[in-house]
Amino acid sequence: MRNRRWSHRWMMDHRPVYSTMRSYRWLWSASKLGLSLSDTNEAWKAELDERVRKFEENFRNNGLLNCDIEKSVGQQLLLLQAELKQIKEENKKIVENYTAERTMRKKYYNMVEDMKGKIRVFCRIRPLTRTEQARRGHTIVTCLDDYSVILETPRGPREFQFDKIFNSECTQEEVFLESSGLIQCAIDGFNVCIFAYGHTGSGKTFTIVGDRDQRNPGIIPRTFTKIFEIIQENESKFDFKVSAYMLELYNDRLQDLFVNPAEAFSKRIEIKRDRKGLMFAQGAETKEATSASELFALFEQGCANRHIAATKMNVESSRSHLIIGVMIESSSLTNGSVSYGKLSLVDLAGSERAAKTGAKDDQLKEANSINKSLSALGDVISALSMEQPHVPYRNNKLTQLMQDSLGGNAKTLMFLNISPSDSNLDETLTSLIYATRVKAITNSAQRNIDNKEIAQLKEVILKLKSGQPVEEDV
């Protein structure tokens, strides 16, 4: 059985040889039938020739067939490769379009939110410091696009969205450019507040003030320059008056930075609210400035009076909140209307918990009062974001002072400063969650503008209050 199967296979594989064997058999039968050897020879030769011809033809055909198959398979492969390339290109375009659309959608969404009066939140990621690099700290924060940031947490990545993300390579100039529109708003008579929030060492002072030697000036000095640039451009249409106050909230005490510390200690500053809901610090020294350099000199003088102490987290960490208010009064030379804009620039103290900073005694007291004011700020933010009827502004001086900027008559921009380092994971996560709540707050900013008559009457009242003579025809 096995032999038969083997022989059949052998016959199939060697069909031409087998045919030749059949020819021998036929030859043998022919001789048995009495045919001569030459006849048989001829017949055998013819049969053999025929077999060889068929074998060659068969081989040629099969060979050609294989060639055709190879050719067509090759062609199909080329076609498929071209199709794949095209699909890949289309796919790339779709991804690009999707990313562009997504970015646009976020941008327009943010614009609508801005028009609705929502507080704007910009998130800035500072670079790893040299100490963090030396400690082999690694980055746990990445920017997905201009509006989304991802934080790697032990429970997996978490995405947060803000009105703008500035990565660690963004310059002070780029950061300022995005915020400078608000300066025009203040000159137009709006109440504007820009404040920085984040833990100690996250880059708040760098963003708001700049570095120590002012090689990289921050928002404050750039704002001063911009204010006077705008004033210069509009001098033929408006009369401008710029004045400022500068305060420090330290250990629950408001201190006037425009007077020397000894004098400031005995001075009482009260936070009041005017008819339009604007907050002002009663009793604080207000100084006029006629140029950017004059305003900056006032600011530097104020900085020299600040309380600064070293903590573990940042050698030069500021342990107090800094508030500078720049008032811009502009009177129209054409119709006499007067607008009053106020620009508050706030550098908050670090938001970290006292335990991590290694603060002791006096510093612990500072840390506690900082925590108290920031937790009061947190309560205000959560009441506003949940649209609760009662907002606990009065619980702390910081929240009282920022009342018009949070949920009030102001255009507000918050800088959320974060560190990219894995060693700051807890603080960064807390800050990101905090800032997400701030984003939900809606303000209702209105221009503070009086027509000519009201502006004149206000001037009369002021003069009367201070005992100055008033002209009859006013």
List of residues contacting Mg ion (CB under 5 A): 204-205, 318
* Least distance from ligand ADP to the Cβ atom of residue 127, Å: 5
What Å distances lie between residue 61 and 56, 74, 126, CA to CA?
8, 20, 74
* Least distance from Mg ion to the Cβ atom of residue 161, Å: 26
Decide: residue 67, CB within 10 A, 0-12 exposed, 13-18 middle, 19+ buried.
exposed
Q: Residue 332 is inside which H or E element, if any?
A: strand 321-332
* Least distance from ligand ADP to the Cβ atom of residue 312, Å: 12
Q: With binding defined as CB under 6 A, does residue 317 bind ligand ADP?
A: yes
**What are residue 288's DSSP bridge partners?**
243
Residue of 212, 207, 244, 209 lying closest to 228 (CA atoms): 244
Q: In this chain, which residue has its C-beta nearest to Mg ion? A: 205
Residue 23 binds which of Mg ion, ligand ADP, none (CB < 5-8 A, kind-dependent): none
Tell me the residue length of the chain.
474
* Least distance from ligand ADP to the Cβ atom of residue 289, Å: 25
Q: With binding defined as CB under 6 A, does residue 302 bind ligand ADP?
A: no
Q: With binding defined as CB under 6 A, does residue 211 bind ligand ADP?
A: yes
**What are residue 322's DSSP bridge partners?**
248, 347
Residue 201 binds which of Mg ion, ligand ADP, none (CB < 5-8 A, kind-dependent): ligand ADP
Question: Segment 378-407, which members bind ligand ADP (CB under 6 A)?
Answer: none
Residue 42 binds which of Mg ion, ligand ADP, none (CB < 5-8 A, kind-dependent): none
Closer to ligand ADP by Cβ: residue 167 or 395: 167
Closer to Mg ion by Cβ: residue 199 or 226: 199
* Least distance from Mg ion to the Cβ atom of residue 205, Å: 3
Residue of 182, 51, 53, 180 lying closest to 114 (CA atoms): 182
Q: With binding defined as CB under 6 A, does residue 251 bind ligand ADP?
A: no
Question: Segment 190-209, which members bind ligand ADP (CB under 6 A)?
Answer: 198, 200-206
Q: In this chain, which residue has its C-beta nearest to ligand ADP? A: 203
Q: How far apart are CA 120 and CA 438, in angstroms?
A: 8
Binding mask 349-378 for ligand ADP (x = CB under 6 A): -x----------------------------
Q: Is 192 helix (H, G, I), strand (E, B) or coil?
A: strand
Sheet holding 148-153, edge to edge: 141-143, 148-153, 156-161
Question: Segment 403-422, which members bind ligand ADP (CB under 6 A)?
Answer: 417
* Least distance from ligand ADP to the Cβ atom of residue 131, Å: 10
Q: Identify whether the C-beta of residue 192 lies closer than 8 Å to the C-beta of residue 182.
A: yes
Token pair for residue 97? 């379009």
Q: How far apart are CA 149 and CA 39, in angstroms?
A: 98
Token pair for residue 286? 């207000």
Binding mask 122-141 for ligand ADP (x = CB under 6 A): ----xx-x------------
Q: How far apart are CA 26 and CA 348, in angstroms?
A: 112
Q: Identify whether the C-beta of residue 140 lies closer than 8 Å to the C-beta of residue 151.
A: yes
Closer to Mg ion by Cβ: residue 71 or 212: 212
* Least distance from ligand ADP to the Cβ atom of residue 446, Å: 32
* Distance, CA of 403 to chain centre: 26
* Least distance from ligand ADP to the Cβ atom of residue 211, Å: 5
Closer to ligand ADP by Cβ: residue 23 or 421: 421
* # residues contacting ligand ADP (CB under 6 A): 16
- Which one-letter amino acid corresponds to residue 131? T
* Least distance from ligand ADP to the Cβ atom of residue 467, Å: 44
Q: How far apart are CA 11 and CA 6, in angstroms?
A: 9
Phi and psi based region of residue 283 (left: phi greater than 0; alpha: psi -120 to 50; beta: remaining): left
Residue 126 binds which of ligand ADP, Mg ion, none (CB < 5-8 A, kind-dependent): ligand ADP
Q: With binding defined as CB under 6 A, does residue 330 bind ligand ADP?
A: no
Closer to ligand ADP by Cβ: residue 289 or 370: 370
Q: How far apart are CA 72 and CA 70, in angstroms?
A: 6
Q: How far apart are CA 416 and CA 418, in angstroms?
A: 6
Q: How far apart are CA 378 and CA 430, in angstroms?
A: 11
Residue 222 binds which of ligand ADP, Mg ion, none (CB < 5-8 A, kind-dependent): none
* Least distance from Mg ion to the Cβ atom of residue 308, Å: 9
Binding residues for ligand ADP (CB under 6 A): 126-127, 129, 198, 200-206, 211, 314, 317, 350, 417
